[in-house]
Amino acid sequence: MASEGFDIKRGLKDVYFDTTEASFIDGDVGKLLYRGYNIHDLAEKATFEEIVYLLLYGDLPNQRQLDDFNVEFRGSRSIPEEVINVLRVVKDCHPMDALRTGISALSAFDPDVTDNSIEATRRKGIRLTAQAPTIVAAHHRIRNGLDPVAPNPGLNHAGNFLYMLRGAEPTEDENRLIDVDFVLHAEHGANASAFGARVVASTLSDLHSAVVTGVAVLKGPWHGGAAEEVMKMALDIGQPENAEEYARKLLDSGGRVMGFGHRVYKAEDPRARHLRERSQRLGQEKGQPHWFQILTYLEQNVMAPYRDRGIFVNVDFFAGSIYYLLEIPDDLFIPIFALGRIPGWTLQCMEQYSDNILLRPLLEYTGEMDLEYVPIDQR
Ligand code: CMC
């Protein structure tokens, strides 16, 4: 056994590997800034379109800049018929797998695919952000035996996504709920999927490959998959009075309550606040207040002692209930997170390309050493 006693940072906990201007996170107080702007202001006042511009161009747009940007952004939503055909072939897979496959297929049609300049990466990031909802909506309709709905250039990003999914325009409230959700998910430092995307970019591979990786990494239940798991748990619990017993059993058997805990936040995830209020209001409006009551019971009772260990609700805890109340199927919850996150992955790749260094850490070898090769007939 070779063991040199290296200082191993398992899970890369607390490791800084580069600098960024994308977002600032203070996990001790629960503070999040996108390019210097507080998430609380952005969630309440900004649209997703402004956030995409802010992240990819470096500052909030004025009206003329936003109008020009929207012409490009809304005009990029269509996907080639060949990609729709690929989605037909994979129609039975999980929507996250369809999104990953669809983005991969789009690379065959993007004129800038091999150009890793900052300008081309930004153009591709805008296109991918615009096209990804079309993939998710088209796949969802195909798997339900319906024809895909063409994008509607008269609608904003969030509204157009719901329109392509359902074939009918959403209400203003539904539109804003998804818009805020996209805003809250747009960028979040060196989280696992952004790190995965940066590793890809660091080999000078292209943005489509990096975004495919981002989608693949996000899929796991310890990352983007938590919202789906939270709602499954709430459905299993059924009524607030069952929450205590259910969660105790889960925790006593070594399980985790999804939607709690975060590698960086040791206070409440600042994004959760905006979804908590909306989950409560939507539940009342829809005559289904019990989902919020179940979640609140878990938060305020079962998980209260965990606060001393720095475990609070994260962004995913209330998100699932909002999607559920909007009648969005649970396997679309993670793709919705991904749709919001593409600008963040793009920006992080732009940062990586602009001052690149290969991301390549080390593993300490703990296996056998210098074994003698034994011919196969003598083993
Ligand atoms: N429920 C119960 N115990 C928990 C939870 C939880 N949700 N999260 C962490 N713990 C415990 C964990 O069991 C461990 O206990 P012990 O020290 O006794 O072994 C301790 O807290 C530390 O956990 P860890 O896994 O070492 O901490 P981490 O910083 O690596 O974990 C996490 C971060 C997100 C993987 C974890 O909190 C978790 O699994 N949460 C549930 C999944 C979830 O909600 N994910 C969404 C994250 S936010 C959205 C995103 O950015 O992806």
238: left (phi over 0), alpha (psi -120 to 50) or beta: left
Q: What is the pTM of this model?
A: 0.95
Does residue 232 sit within a domain? no
**φ, ψ of residue 16 in degrees (nearest 5):** -95, 125
Kindly report the protein residue whose alpha carbon is nearest to atom 34 of ligand 1.
262
Q: How many domains does the chain have?
A: 1
Question: Is the beta carbon of 312 within 6 A of some atom in ligand 1?
Answer: no
Looking up tokens 């300008």 gives 119
97-154 residue pLDDT tens: 999 999 999 999 999 999 999 999 999 999 999 999 999 999 999 999 999 999 999 9
Question: Is the beta carbon of 260 within 6 A of some atom in ligand 1?
Answer: yes
167-186 residue pLDDT tens: 999 999 999 999 999 999 99
196-242 residue pLDDT tens: 999 999 999 999 999 999 999 999 988 998 899 999 999 999 999 99
Question: Is the beta carbon of 256 within 6 A of some atom in ligand 1?
Answer: yes
Question: Is the beta carbon of 100 within 6 A of some atom in ligand 1?
Answer: no
Collect all residues with Cβ–Cβ distance below 8 Å to 354 and sequence separation of at least 6: 118
Does residue 43 sit within a domain? yes
CATH number for 50? 1.10.580.10
- Whether the per-residue pLDDT at 5 is higher than 90: the answer is no
pLDDT at 264: 94
Does residue 219 sit within a domain? no
Active site residue 262: yes
Structural domain that includes position 97 = 35-189+341-354
Residue 4 confidence class, pLDDT cut points 50, 70, 90: low
Does residue 8 sit within a domain? no
- Amino acid at the residue 76: S
Does residue 236 sit within a domain? no
Does residue 257 sit within a domain? no
Does residue 118 sit within a domain? yes
The atom of ligand 1 lying closest to the CA of 317 is 44
Does residue 135 sit within a domain? yes
Q: What percent of the chain has pLDDT over 70?
A: 99
- Ligand 1 probe mutation, 13, 195, 262, most atoms within 8 A of CB: 262
**What is the mean pLDDT of the segment spanning 266-272?**
96
- Whether the per-residue pLDDT at 3 is higher than 60: the answer is no
**φ, ψ of residue 23 in degrees (nearest 5):** -145, 155
CA 136 to chain centre: 14
